[in-house]
Amino acid sequence: MKDKVTPAAGPNSRASESQGLRRSLSNRQIQMLAIGGVIGVGLFYGASLSVQMAGPAVVLVYLVFGLLTALVMRALGEMTVDTPVSGSFSHYAAQYLGKRVGFVTGGMWWFYWVATVMSELAAIGKLVEFWFPSFPAYAPGIVALVLFTVSNLFAVKVFGEVEYWFAVLKILAIAVFMVFGVLIIAVGTFNHGHPAGFSNLWQYGGFAPHGWIGVFAAASLVIQAYSGVETLAVEAGESKNPKTNMPKAFRRVSMRILVLYVGSIFIMLAAFPWTYLIHHSGSPYVLMFAKAGVPIAATVVNLLIIFSGLSSCNTGLYGGSRMLYSLATRDQESTPSTKPGLENKSRLTKLNKNQVPHAAVWITALMISIGILITYLAPNNVYIWITSASAFASLWTWGIVFLSEFRFRTLRQRSGQRPQFAMPWWPAPTLLGMALLLVGLAAMVISPYTRVSVLSGVVFLAALWLYAWRRVR
């Protein structure tokens, strides 16, 4: 079958970007896709650093920025239920803040996922070295990228099912960790008589041993851990019955992620002294099982962390390709052909026989492959470099979500209409979300660990604005 080109839709169409995409994702799949997008190697592998910076007070940081994540999702859900399209927040930004803002936002989010998948593939390579120390760190990334590119080219239903089971494994890993931690707390001892219990939250230097400066610095790392949950809204363009399924998904996903993150961190801090992590740069999840003397724990948990990274890569390739497809579709609609009688056809808007934007998948995968080259050249530093580079793009996206929702709701109020999935107590939640976002941005600028992300993000943002100024009308 020949490639299909998405036809331009009229201005009143609520699914102008999703006409050619097949709505195959079920309610259970879209919820797991969102969880799969946010729970990656960052939680399992990178939580140690934030605990070292803030001590037990890091649980408050996870709670506060978990609230920010929930506010972002609630604001996004309000617009998504009204207009379920594959472009999501990029589409809403174009509609309510201007086409250039929409284009830049879509580009920043595409950059976020490209960088995130690069870092996840790099981390997977290092994790495989746990069993095979001499195995090249870049090799697992090549295999994973090829497999996920192929799976993303098949029907979206196949992709959704693959990601569903990956997400189930991640949730299972966290659930087992939490149950095991509760048992350790109940017994009251850990690692040859060391106390286990809630007193660990304040006995070793206090609740905030490095002061509130340390807590503030940890905020930048915690924000990175929550990034990616907004993929749920991008899935609306390919979900079954979005008007019914999306409100349920937005309500449940935010709460589940908050429980998994805050709950697991709280249990970890109570199960063993946070000072154990000072000289441990790996996963605190692995550390707890190892210190408890479970023989095969390290192998099992390491395998589950790899599955988490694979899941995030799968979701990232999906989300990035769909955003690229959305940007190309809107560019095609807004830029008529200079030749009479001919459509302005972009290769990025073409769909294969499975109704998948295959060119967007290939280009996104090609850009991700640059990360494998970087892993080959600098295997020990690539994860930190690329992960920090994606943080600014995530904050930009969240800020645009709040601004778009504020404009959307204001226009609705003027016309006397109330959204189907209206945010309660508006505009207080939106304004609170904006304030927390500014706190997070300040933390990123101040923290030496993530300051580079602001610089690299600003450079990419400037490049996008330059392109949008010349191209987007």
How confident is the model over 400-425, as pLDDT tens digits? 999 999 999 999 999 888 888 888 89
pLDDT over threshold 80, residue 342: no
How confident is the model over 157-173, as pLDDT tens digits? 666 677 778 778 777 87
Amino acid in the structure at residue 392:
F
In a domain, 441, yes or no: yes
With b meaning 16 or more CB within 10 Å and e meaning fewer, what string describes 293-312?
eeeebbeebbebbbbbbbbb
> Which of 66-75, 253-262, 289-298 shows the lowest per-residue confidence on average (mean pLDDT)?
289-298
In a domain, 164, yes or no: yes
Query: Distance (Å, rounded) from C-alpha 391 to C-alpha 302?
Result: 25
Give the confidence band of 93 by pLDDT, cuts at 50, 70, 90. Answer: very high
Q: What's the pLDDT score for residue 219?
A: 82
In a domain, 8, yes or no: no
Half-sphere exposure of 408 (CA within 13 A, CB side): 29
> For 227-241, what is the mean pLDDT?
71
In a domain, 167, yes or no: yes
Q: What's the pLDDT score for residue 158?
A: 67
Amino acid in the structure at residue 328:
A
Q: What's the pLDDT score for residue 41?
A: 64
Q: What's the pLDDT score for residue 43?
A: 66
CA-based torsion, 249, 393, 92, 438: positive or negative: positive
Query: Distance (Å, rounded) from C-alpha 462 to C-alpha 163?
Result: 34
For residue 308, what are the CA distances in angstroms to 409, 441, 460?
A: 37, 27, 28
Return the percentage of the chain with pLDDT > 70, whole number.
76
In a domain, 1, yes or no: no
In a domain, 353, yes or no: yes
> For 172-179, what is the mean pLDDT?
82
Partners of residue 5 on adjacent β-strands: 350
User: Token digits for 145?
Assistant: 């990228």
CATH code where residue 467 lies? 1.20.1740.10
Query: Distance (Å, rounded) from C-alpha 16 to C-alpha 329?
Result: 9
Give the confidence band of 33 by pLDDT, cuts at 50, 70, 90. Answer: low
In a domain, 10, yes or no: no
Q: How many residues does the chain have?
A: 473
For residue 114, what are the CA distances in angstroms to 19, 368, 391?
A: 25, 5, 12
In a domain, 384, yes or no: yes
Phi and psi at residue 265, to the nearest 5°:
-65, -40
pLDDT over threshold 50, residue 127: yes
Calculated CA dihedral for residues 62, 66, 69, 74, nearest 10 degrees: -170
> For 122-148, what is the mean pLDDT?
80
44 compared with 263, residue with greater pLDDT: 263
- Please give the tally of structural domains in the chain: 1
> For 85-104, what is the mean pLDDT?
88
352: nearest Cα among 343, 361, 344:
361
SS3 of the chain: the string is: CCCEECCCCCCCCCCCCCCCCCCCECHHHHHHHHHHHHCCHHHHHHHHHHHHHHHHHHHHHHHHHHHHHHHHHHHHHHHHHHCCCCCHHHHHHHHHCCHHHHHHHHHHHHHHHHHHHHHHHHHHHHHHCCCCCCCCCCHHHHHHHHHHHHHHHCCHHHHHHHHHHHHHHHHHHHHHHHHHHHHHHHHCEECCCEECCHHHHCCCCCCCCCHHHHHHHHHHHHHHHHCCCCHHHHHHHHECCHHHHHHHHHHHHHHHHHHHHHHHHHHHHHHCCHHHHCCCCCCHHHHHHHHCCCCCHHHHHHHHHHHHHHHHHHHHHHHHHHHHHHHHHHHHHHCCCCCCCCCCCCHHHEECCCCCCHHHHHHHHHHHHHHHHHHHHCCCCHHHHHHHHHHHHHHHHHHHHHHHHHHHHHHHHHCCCCCCCCCCCCCHHHHHHHHHHHHHHHHHHHCCCCHHHHHHHHHHHHHHHHHHHHHCC
pLDDT over threshold 70, residue 250: yes
First-to-last alpha carbon distance for the chain, in angstroms, is: 34
Q: What's the pLDDT score for residue 411?
A: 94
Q: What's the pLDDT score for residue 281?
A: 56
Residue 69 is part of which domain span? Answer: 28-471
Query: Distance (Å, rounded) from C-alpha 449 to C-alpha 470?
Result: 34
